[in-house]
Amino acid sequence: MRLADISSTTLTRRPKAYSYTYTVSLMHLRNPWVTAWWSASFPGFGHIFLGSYIKGFLLVFWEVIINTASHLNLAIYYTFTGQFPLATQTLDQRWLLLYIAAYIYAIWDAYRSTLEMNKCAILGEREGTKFLPSRMGAWEINIMSKRIPGLAAVWSALMPGLGHLYTHRLPTGFFFSSGVLSLFISRACWKGHILPAQATSQR
């Protein structure tokens, strides 16, 4: 790539893509309802889908903390099994009010951000902007090469996060793989402390 192309890339008003050593930020058309659905399924996932990592990770941590403090999942379980008095007693309504506000905000902001990014993607396409094909840093090298979507899906099915590492999305790859690992560790600790006590009581 010529020096003129590099300078025009760094000074582009609306770039379509920008590669960092740890990830690639892409500006392309997305369906805002898909982004809103991801945020509705789990707050923060819609922002991660857009590439807004900091806001997405914060909303995911907020969801986990508030959901645990309000006992929402346990109340939903009691509701589905028809134990409505237990659901009412279990649910902490003060924490639930914080949960509702963040939940609605995550859906709204993901939808709004998708519309804004779609506008920038259309304008960038009209300008015919270019981007650097590779990025090299002290810790990582990022080369913009074609990846096979099916292979990324297979890696993600085998272990969440591996597909993101394959497409060089290191923040999301580390986030999902560490999340799954923490779930396995917490489940193993729970079994190690609870199940032996139950086994000894049955004897």
Place of tokens 């050593």: 21
Distance CA(7)–CA(118), nearest Å, equals: 25
**21 and 67 inside one domain:** yes
The structure tokens listed for 148 are 């096979």
Question: Does residue 162 sit in the same domain as residue 104?
Answer: no
Q: What's the pTM?
A: 0.66
Q: What are phi and psi of 17, to 5 degrees?
A: -155, 150
pLDDT recorded at residue 14: 64
Show pLDDT as tens, one digit a residue, over the chain (203 residues): 444 444 444 456 666 666 666 676 677 788 999 999 999 999 999 998 888 888 888 899 888 888 888 888 888 888 898 888 888 888 888 888 888 888 999 999 999 999 988 887 787 777 776 666 666 666 666 667 778 888 888 888 888 888 877 777 788 888 888 777 777 777 666 655 544 444 444 44
Q: Are residues 132 and 165 in the same domain?
A: no
Show which of 123, 145, 167 is a domain's final residue.
Answer: 145
Which of 145, 166, 194 finishes a domain?
145
Please name which of 105, 96, 87, 86 lies closest in space to residue 40, comparing C-alpha atoms.
Answer: 105
Which residues on neighbouring strands pair with residue 197, listed in sequence order?
none
46 and 76: one domain?
yes
pLDDT at 196: 45
The domain in which residue 189 lies consists of: 151-203
Residues 6+ apart with CB under 8 A from 133: 1, 19, 143, 144
Number of domains in the chain: 2
Pair 77, 111 in one domain: yes
- pLDDT for 32: 92
Q: Which of 128, 145, 162 is the last residue of a domain?
A: 145
* Model pLDDT, residue 31: 92
Residue 192 is predicted with a pLDDT of 53
Residue 7 and residue 88 in one domain: yes
